[in-house]
C-alpha cells in the first residue's frame, strides 16, 4: 500500500514563489530579487507539471497597487499609537516619509507577491497544461 504524497501548503508555496499547479518549482527565472531588471521575469512553464506561466498580459498590476495601499494602512496602524499624527505640526510629513521609505524598500517583494497572487487566483492546484 503506497502512502499518498502530501499536498504542499498553499500559503507557504505562495510566499516562497512556487508553481501554483504543483507547488514544487520556482516560478521566476531568478530566485533572487537581484538584478532588479529581471525581478518579475517568469519562466515560460513549470519544469515538473508543464503549467504555462505567461498566459495573461496583466500579471498583477492592480494587485500590486492594492498591496501597496494595504501597507500604507498597516503603517498608519503602528505609527499613530506610537508617534501620533496631527495636522498642527509636521508629524503627518514624518508619517508620509516613513511610509514612503517602507513601501519603496518592500516594493520588489510586493511586485513579485502580486504576480504570484495573480497566478494563484487563475491556476488551480493540480491543473497542469503538460502535453500528453
Looking at residue 74, the DSSP 8-state letter turns out to be H
Domain-wise residue ranges, the chain: 10-122
3-state DSSP call for residue 13? helix
Segment 15-41, tens digit of pLDDT: 999 998 888 899 999 988 888 888 888
Segment 66-79, tens digit of pLDDT: 999 999 999 999 99
How many angstroms separate the first and last alpha carbons of the chain?
27
Amino acid at each position: 500500500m503506497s502512502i499518498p504524497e502530501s499536498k504542499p501548503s498553499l500559503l507557504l508555496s505562495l510566499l516562497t514563489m512556487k508553481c501554483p499547479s504543483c507547488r514544487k518549482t520556482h516560478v521566476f527565472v531568478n530566485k533572487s530579487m537581484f538584478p532588479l531588471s529581471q525581478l518579475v521575469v517568469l519562466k515560460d512553464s513549470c519544469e515538473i507539471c508543464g503549467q504555462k506561466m505567461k498566459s495573461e498580459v496583466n500579471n498583477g498590476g492592480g494587485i500590486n497597487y492594492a498591496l501597496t495601499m494595504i501597507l500604507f494602512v498597516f503603517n498608519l496602524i503602528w505609527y499613530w499609537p506610537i508617534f501620533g499624527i496631527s495636522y498642527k505640526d509636521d508629524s503627518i510629513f514624518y508619517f508620509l516619509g516613513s511610509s514612503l521609505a517602507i513601501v519603496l524598500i518592500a516594493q520588489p517583494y510586493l511586485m513579485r507577491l502580486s504576480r504570484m497572487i495573480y497566478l494563484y487566483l487563475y491556476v488551480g492546484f493540480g491543473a497542469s497544461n503538460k502535453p500528453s
